[in-house]
Structure 1
């Protein structure tokens, strides 16, 4: 067992294991199943999302990676149920920071989160080879191993905990393992404020040869979290 595995296995309580559904992913990243057919896709970090499980059932080629996957699927499923209930309690107090047209109410949100967790946990048990443990900012994949990489609710969201250097190193690594493009959602932090170094980051990526654009998407749950960063390799 590596030192990384030892340290992360001891730290299960610090991992929040909550995920989004396949349909949410399509909306968050402004994608369709047809666009993803024939592509090799990486979800990083994937958490308890059902995108990999449902995507592969639909004939897509999706791999998930996350620091959480150093833990067993059963431990993660139990943790996920606890985390969803904790998050729902928080939502009761913070409902005004969210738009409720997609989920309607907290019960609808809970059902989506539990559905994603159930699909993810079942697929982890049946197809564990799709769930790769990683510790960003490094990934155990070859250069351009995937066509498209999707990254949700991690970068930019935790700007208060992850420094700008971590963002640059991680995005460079995501681009290294991608052949075509990287999409990151959303571009705001947990308070709904645009990542303060985003323009600087866009300039940096453009200067080293990438086509970068901020794209509005047909999904907004957290207020102001309605656009993604799309980075295309030339």
Structure 2
């Protein structure tokens, strides 16, 4: 990696417990609340996102899963606050690789992340099994249990540490537990580069009968992170 690349990469040394708000999810996946009505939805991996917490207050049927959920909500809140502080320091150093339209500045971004964490961990502490611990690429769910699966800021984001086989096995499991579709956002890694095996993966999905679309979205915070992958399960 060149010195220029080193100076512009968001250098996260670990996958952090940090999340987006319900409203950010709607923007990332081009969803309206009407799209969620009557659907059984899985957020995977959900991290500290408040999509499940807020969505269920509106009466939607949303389940979250993540490896982090093997730990207590109180412990995750402490970790999340530490991770927000850690991440914001790196944000200050790498402002130039982000588009500051949705958020006013790093301070405003911090507020969104803290809000998501607070809603998530509060709901987790009182929920009736909506937060399911998983170790990818395996899931404890039934075949076709969900209608829509949303997966944000994980699979392609960490392409430097999750190999192609992991992506294939995880998506195969996601296909097993959905009866309709999977949506993945974004399609780039932490350097803003398109996932190098994406075309190969799309061909694999087409070969097993899926319909795959790359769809532009209006939400672009990380530069070039403005597309999602919609995978419609073959019948």
Bin for the TM-score computed over the shorter chain: over 0.9
1:88 CA displacement: 0.7
Alignment correspondent of 2:65:
65
Alignment correspondent of 1:131:
131
- Aligned partners of 1:15 and 1:68 also within 8 Å: no
Residue 187 of structure 1 aligns to a residue in which SS? coil
| Whole-Å separation in 1 of the counterparts to 2:27 and 2:137 | 26
- Aligned partners of 1:152 and 1:186 also within 8 Å: yes
1:126 CA displacement: 1.2
1:107-137 alpha-carbon deviations (Å, 9 max, x no partner) = 1100000000000011001105100000000
Q: Does residue 1:35 correspond to 2:35, yes or no?
A: yes
Alignment correspondent of 2:113:
113
| Whole-Å separation in 1 of the counterparts to 2:87 and 2:104 | 16
Q: Does residue 1:80 correspond to 2:117, yes or no?
A: no
Unaligned 5+ segments in structure 1 are: 1-12
1:15 CA displacement: 5.5
TM-score, normalised to structure 1's length? 0.93
| Whole-Å separation in 2 of the counterparts to 1:23 and 1:231 | 22
1:14 CA displacement: 5.9
Alignment correspondent of 1:8:
none
Q: Aligned runs of 1:171-210 on 2, under 5 Å?
A: 171-210=171-210
| Whole-Å separation in 1 of the counterparts to 2:100 and 2:51 | 22
| Whole-Å separation in 1 of the counterparts to 2:85 and 2:151 | 24
Residue 129 of structure 1 aligns to a residue in which SS? coil
1:51-84 alpha-carbon deviations (Å, 9 max, x no partner) = 0000000110000000000011000000000100
- Aligned partners of 1:145 and 1:179 also within 8 Å: yes
| Whole-Å separation in 1 of the counterparts to 2:14 and 2:211 | 36
| Whole-Å separation in 2 of the counterparts to 1:54 and 1:116 | 9
Question: Aligned-residue CA RMSD in angstroms?
Answer: 1.1
1:218 CA displacement: 1.4
1:190-214 alpha-carbon deviations (Å, 9 max, x no partner) = 0000000000100110011000010
TM-score, normalised to structure 2's length? 0.93
Unaligned 5+ segments in structure 2 are: 1-12
Q: How many residues are treated as equivalent by the alignment?
A: 222
Distance 1:167 1:87, change over 3 A: same
| Whole-Å separation in 1 of the counterparts to 2:162 and 2:99 | 26
